[in-house]
Structure 1
Amino acid sequence: MEQIYTFGSYLKNKFGCKVYKVGINISGFTCPNIDGTVAKGGCTFCENDSFSASTGQTQELKGFHLNLKSKTNPNLDKQLQQLEFQFNAISKRQRQEYGAKKFLVYFQSFTNTYAPFETLKALYEKALSFPDVVGLSIGTRSDSITQETLEYLAELNLTKEIWIEFGIQSVYDETLEKINRGHSSANVKEWILKAKAKGLNVCGHLIFGLPDESQEMMLETSKQAYEWGIDSVKYHPLYVVKKTALANDFTKGTFAPITEDIYLDVLIKSIIMKPQSVSVQRVTAGINDGSLLAPDWCRDKNSQIKKINMALKPFGLKY
């Protein structure tokens, strides 16, 4: 059986040891489709209050939000403290439990280039100063990054491992409108190509099971994302959590979640068509708590991975 090329394998090959991503949540970051810049309420599947630091111990800065036009940041010192606290707590656990040797600081929650350049520069450089940090992975949106930030990241990438994670979700604008995304597919393509032209590493997030999408549409999204030159991919099934617009549609019966069989079929076909050079960071997602409304199969990740490997086996592959 051939092992699918994973992001962990990529990092271990490059650095010669276990490299773990340290997920960070910094207060004050938001999204332009939450704060009203391009839309209000956020993506229909996103429970905006659910984002919290992985340690659960970081004090939120209530009522404080940054955007690209913010002139000042009175809470930068507190944000830097949050960053250090979270990194120390999470990396310590990863060392003890998983034998991690080096780290990528992953700016994970919300849109992590959606702030004044000087704030971003301070946070990124602070993160790179921590022990055994080899680089950054920055989760963002294509409508929330500037050329200045892109060029700065390209400079950092000369000596560090710098990744940008873009939410592609779908290449169909009608789908992006239905989920209140607030930008077009052309905008995502534009900024992925710009990032690649600067020599940056790009991870694309794809969601299968978006409203009214056929399997052919989901596979076309995968196909185009690969053609844009992404270096890594995360595959997600769309699941429904409480306190979201999607939850309202589900309750009213106007949205039906993707079945496990269809998800497996689309996922396997997407993996098979994937260029071998594209690493895989995630093959599924879900949550096992009271906030999940549907589908129920998204509760058990171990069961999902087992079924994914069963579906891959006829193709001589394993995850």
Structure 2
Amino acid sequence: MVTISLQNKTKNQTKEVLTIGRYFKKKFKEKVYKTPISISGFTCPNIDGSVAKGGCTFCENDSFSPNLQEKKPKFKLNPRVNENPFLDKQLMQLEMQFNATKQRLENKFGAKKYIVYFQSFTNTYAPFETLKALYSKALSFENVIGLSIGTRTDCMTDEILDYLEELAKEKEIWVEYGIQSFYDKTLDKINRGDDSANMVKWIEKTKQRGLKVCGHLIYGLPDETQEMMLNSFKKTLELKVDSIKFHPLYVVKNTLLTKEFKKGNFTPISEELYVDTVVKSIKNLPQNVSVQRVTAGIDDNTLLSPLWCKNKHRQIKKIREALLKEGLKY
């Protein structure tokens, strides 16, 4: 078990939370910017029927990823396909997205160093040769110092870990696992198609390779109490993750959760409870574990509830203010 100690504070003194930005700046001596990438053709075993049908109950991935709004090819990758006839188009898409984001960050912030973040869907759920082509292409871009790969623990393999371990000898390599909760009954309710034992297995194996791990947690999942949310947080820390992202569960159109919400079978987490749970978590964060996200939101007509998720900046402000009362600067 990991012993979690509260952050020390004294009167009129604040302590900085280790954000991912502060981690990168300390390590690389300047700001490093993550550039999100969404590659068409990627999906997940929970959508294509390999482990479940319909995806997670809250998932309508296009609404979270503007880069996927462009016209998509009519094929979906999985590790079992023998050929990928769209690889050249995907490589071009990768380069175009990266260059567009890089230009914007350079113009706005004077950015000089980047980590390419494979964000949408499951970015290890494809033929190994496709993954190698995309990852190596991303690392070839000027001023890219590493990768961050969003995926699921049931879509990781030893072969992929071997490859990432080699890349990590020269580059900053992160694997971002969607954990959401360590309660199997919750995972069943959200149609996750994965279980807590498998998550533990692959997070441990990833850490054993010396790779950086970021765990994603969702607060406000169906029927979870604050105690359950905080227990999932503690279990995540016990696995020696390097970073954490916190997300509130909100309801968007065209999801399985939409039906439950409209029937009155699901009530989203309140803003007050969400802020309190995130603050309690960060108060108990070990000094070597960074925070990559404290909340999320979507300000368009796909959001059904809760409406407080429309304004992410207001949420961050409230979390910052609550942390300051605890002597912590986010």
TM-score by length of 1: 0.97
Q: Aligned letter for 1:38?
A: V
Distance 1:53 1:268 in 2: 29
How far apart are 1:71 and its partner, in Å?
Answer: 1.1
C-alpha contact (below 8 Å) 1:55/1:89 kept by paired residues: no
- Tell whether the 8 Å contact from 2:186 to 2:222 is kept in structure 1 after alignment: yes
What are the Cα deviations for residues 235-260 of structure 1, in whole angstroms up to 9, with x where unaligned?
A: 00101111111111111100000001
What's the secondary structure of 1:54's corresponding residue? helix
Q: 1:55 to 1:88 in 2, by over 3 A?
A: farther
Query: In the alignment, does 2:116 pair up with 1:138?
Result: no
Alignment of 1:1-40 (within 5 A): 1-40=14-53
| Equivalent-residue separation in structure 2 for 1:297 and 1:177 (angstroms) | 27
Equivalent of 1:261 in 256, 272, 282: 272
Contact 2:39 2:68 (C-alpha < 8 Å) held by counterparts: no
Residue of structure 2 in register with 1:180 after alignment: 191
1:278 aligns with 2:289: yes
- Distance in 1 (alpha carbons) for counterparts of 2:136 and 2:259: 41
* Counterpart check, 1:307 vs 2:318: yes
| Among 84, 91, 96, the residue aligned to 2:107 | 96
| Partner SS, residue 178 of structure 2 | strand
Aligned partner of 1:200 in structure 2 is 211
From the superposition, tell whether residues 150 and 53 of structure 1 become closer, same or farther in structure 2 (CA, over 3 Å): farther
Matches within 5 A, 1:213-252: 213-252=224-263
Shift of the 55–67 alpha-carbon distance from structure 1 to 2, 3 Å rule, reads closer
Are residues 1:43 and 2:56 paired? Answer: yes
Distance 1:54 1:94 in 2: 16
Quickly say closer, same or farther: Cα 1:6–1:51, change in 2 above 3 A. closer
Question: What residue identity is the alignment partner of 1:116?
Answer: P
Which letter does structure 1 place at the counterpart of 2:329?
A: K
Distance 2:201 2:16 in 1: 32
CA displacement, residues 172-211 of structure 1 (integer Å, 9 cap, x when unaligned): 0000010010000111111100000000000000000000
Alignment-derived partner of residue 135 in structure 2: 124
* Aligned pairs (5 A) from 1:108-119: 108-119=119-130
CA contact (8 A) 2:42 2:123 kept: yes
- Considering Cα pairs closer than 8 Å and 6+ residues apart, tell me whether 1 or 2 has the greater RCO: 2
CA RMSD for the aligned pairs? 1.1
Q: Output the CA distance in 1 between the equivalents of 2:68 and 2:62.
A: 16
The separation in 2 between residues aligned to 1:7 and 1:48, in whole angstroms, is 24
Q: Is the 8 A contact 1:33 1:39 kept in 2?
A: yes
For each residue in 1:86-137, what CA deviation from the matched residue of structure 2 results, as whole angstroms up to 9, or x when unmatched?
A: 1111111011112211100000000000001110000000000000000000
**After superposition, what is the alpha-carbon deviation per residue over 1:39-69, rounded to whole angstroms, capped at 9, x for unaligned?**
011110011443545385x5421x2111111
Q: Deviations over 1:152-190 (max 9, x none)?
A: 001000000000000010000000010010000111111
**Which amino acid letter does the alignment assign opposite residue 47 of structure 2?**
I
Secondary structure of the residue aligned to 1:249 is helix
CA contact (8 A) 1:24 1:53 kept: no
Q: Which moved more, 1:115-124 or 1:91-100?
A: 91-100
Query: Which residue is 1:152 aligned to?
Result: 163
Residues 46-55 or 109-118, more deviating: 46-55
Between the aligned partners of 2:329 and 2:242, the Cα distance in structure 1 is 20
Amino acid at match of 1:6: T
Question: What displacement does 1:301 show?
Answer: 1.4
Q: Which moved more, 1:300-309 or 1:202-211?
A: 300-309
Deviations 1:279-301 (A, max 9, x none): 00000011111111111111111
Normalised by the length of structure 2, the TM-score is: 0.94
User: How many residues matched?
Assistant: 317
SS in 1 for 2:91: helix
Distance 2:65 2:229 in 1: 30
AA aligned opposite 2:311: D
Opposite residue 123 of structure 1, the aligned amino acid is L
SS in 1 for 2:21: helix
Structure 1 309/48 Cα, relative in aligned 2: closer, same or farther at 3 Å? Answer: closer
